[in-house]
Amino acid sequence: MTARNQTRTRFAPSPTGHLHIGNARTALFNWLFAKHHSGSFILRIEDTDLKRSERSYESSIIDDLKWLGLEWDEGPDISGPSNHYRQSERVDIYKEYAERLLDSGSAYLCYCTVERLRELREKQQSNGIPPRYDGRCRALREMERPKDINPVIRFAVPEKEVSFIDGVHESLSFDASTFGDFIIVGSDMVATYNFAVVIDDALMKITHVIRGEDHLSNTPRQILLYEALDMDIPLYAHLPLILGPDKTPLSKRYGMASIKNLREDGFLRDGIINHLCHLGWSPDKRLLSIQEAVDKFTMKRLSRSPSIFDIAALKRLNRDYLEQTDTDTLVKMTRLHLKKDLPYAWLKDAIRAVRGDARTIKDIALLLEPFLGEPVYNEDAIKVLEENHVKMLLKALFEEVEKKEKLSVDSYKDIVNNLREVTGKNGKQLLMPIRAALTGRLRGIELENIFVLLGKEKVIERLKRYITGCTP
């Protein structure tokens, strides 16, 4: 294999769904590796699955990658030496290289029907033999070729050991005779994944392929294709899969694992990036800047063990980044999650008051809900408000609030101290009914902040409506 000077990695998603955590990690690790080595990161769209591929998913994936900050040097929207970065635009290229393999005898036309292949597979399984193609059409003469069947093109797999050094698993070896001659071009003349990816990676001069270990069984097949075409073989690194909470492989169907859903739920880019960094890599630091991640990233610290996508851990990380984010930025982000426009100054003060209790931008918006309209009383709050002492307590609160010119943290403390003396109540018996009456909830931000954000007029209004029996 000829040595190459510049490191070139790629991310090649199929546009059959939104970008999920597993693919986002693959993109991130390829991007970090390229940037660490001052190389290039290429985006390629693998859309040969014509039935399931959609341009809307491609747009969504591209949008999420840009939002994550994983910009590429070449891709569908950035011209490069390869010109075309969608597999659907490279059909003629695959045809050319398939013909080369046919001409060299490394591939052949196969006319076996679906029924014949099914019977072969069932017979092998019944005899306890791993299913594989038996090579029947390898030596088929011209006169024996059916005229009414569109053939597939199969690669003639040589009997040999395929060995390579993996960036995660180190030395690996596979017996090629167990594969059977696999299809590289279907009867519809569409190149299969294993064939197209080899041609693309070779022509785009990809030096390192970092991908999930679900592709590990594809690697020996791809190496054989590289050898048959006399093309440079990239270095491979196969990452252990990311598991869901149930310890099964994380699936596109697990909704929270979609970058789109995480964005909609108000997670910050830096929080997501950091959680991804800790899924299969040990950077020796909990909170990383993107530049620190670039500086630290090497294959030596990649794990061989599966990682768990932990939404609770992601929320903890996200909370740390919320605390580091300036309030003006949070105001801009929070507005996207609010149903009504609010005065900038009030919203800024409100976010300062609630941000300590939030883990996501969406949490901030939810914490602000009781202040944006009439409170909606949940069942727990209603139960508290039905306790015998509550109406007396809230009447006393009403009287204390009326005495104050303005509500502030200090005036709140005075009000609560006076209520203790007047009512004889303390702790939850004192504070829970107040929170329930003012917000309709038993949980939320500090009571003193609730008083300040609502202001005297709204506090009195809400207390009056409850005392007069209009609420809940």
* Residues paired with 415 in a beta bridge: none
Q: Is the peptide bond before 472 cis (omega within 30 degrees of 0)?
A: yes
Q: Give Cβ neighbours of residue 385 (< 8 Å, ≥ 6 apart).
A: 377, 433, 436, 437, 466, 472
- Choosing from 252, 315, 362, 458, the catalytic residue is 252
User: CA distances (Å), 417 to each of 79, 430, 435, 443, 444, in order?
Assistant: 69, 11, 16, 21, 21
Give the SS3 label for residue 367. Answer: helix
Q: Which residue, 462, 326, 467, is CA-closest to 396?
A: 467
Rounded CA gap, 205 and 210, in Å? 14
Give the SS3 label for residue 135. Answer: coil
- Active-site residue 425, yes or no? no
Label residue 182 left, alpha or beta by phi (over 0 means left) and psi (-120 to 50 means alpha). beta
Q: Give Cβ neighbours of residue 453 (< 8 Å, ≥ 6 apart).
A: 349, 350, 353, 371
User: CA distances (Å), 390 to each of 305, 355, 370, 393, 451, in order?
Assistant: 56, 30, 20, 5, 18
Residues in the chain: 472
Q: Are 70 and 27 in contact (CB under 8 A)?
A: yes
| Beta strand ranges found along 296-360 (DSSP E) | 307-308
Which residue in this structure is represented by tokens 């597999």? 87
Rounded CA gap, 183 and 175, in Å? 18
The catalytic site residues sit at 252
